[in-house]
A and B are shown apart, each in its own frame.
Chain A
Amino acid sequence: DVKVTQSSRYLVKRTGEKVFLECVQDMDHENMFWYRQDPGLGLRLIYFSYDVKMKEKGDIPEGYSVSREKKERFSLILESASTNQTSMYLCASSRQGNSYNEQFFGPGTRLTVL
């Protein structure tokens, strides 16, 4: 059974803190993604990675960075958390190739920045 896990379901941080969100997949997928989900806005891509140590900016990368040191793990970093980063964060992974490239999602991390 395919699995994408995220380190926390709920997280509360203070403004200015450095925040790490971790995502791990066990499907040997090449691609990994970080999305932000807000009511009325759908899912917006923050960053994605197509290989270890490789990353590409998505639609809303400002205020975020990522790290992929191992194939199975993709981290999202908020260098200095702000209240407007309060949101649901979803991680996903997919295989490369010319097929459907279905993305498999983790359960999400609901981050509150106070």
Chain B
Amino acid sequence: AQTVTQSQPEMSVQEAETVTLSCTYDTSESNYYLFWYKQPPSRQMILVIRQEAYKQQNATENRFSVNFQKAAKSFSLKISDSQLGDTAMYFCAFMGTGAGSYQLTFGKGTKLSVIP
């Protein structure tokens, strides 16, 4: 079974600064997908960014980028120019590509606070 570990339960960052959220995972699969989801306070969870394991290039979405290290099984999220609206719970998630692989395995989350 896959496991996803987020070692930072809470983090804070000053507005306009850069912050990196850590995520490691364990799997025996060679191809898979990785995701970062954001859950703002009292609001719906939304997808921030995703990465396919066979793509070596790190994914980027505006101010959000990932550092994907396949050999180390690490998938960190970097938020540049942090904004107050980035305050949220962030969940790292894994999805395999085998038969019936519809399930996401989530980490326990990192609560990020952006301080004015």
Contacts and interface: CB of A to CB of B under 8 A. Distances in A.
Q: Is the interface of A mostly helix, strand, loop or mixed?
A: loop
Interface in B1-44: 6, 9, 33, 35, 37, 43-44
Interface residues of B, number: 23
Chain B contact surface mostly: loop
Interface residues of A, number: 24
A1 to B, nearest CB: 12
A103 B104 contact: yes
Interface of B: 6, 9, 33, 35, 37, 43-47, 50, 52, 91, 95, 97, 100, 102-104, 106-109
Interface of A: 31, 33, 40-45, 48, 50, 56, 58, 90, 94, 96, 98, 100-103, 105-108
14 contacts: A31-B102, A42-B91, A42-B106, A42-B108, A43-B91, A43-B106, A48-B103, A50-B100, A50-B102, A58-B103, A101-B95, A105-B44, A105-B45, A106-B44
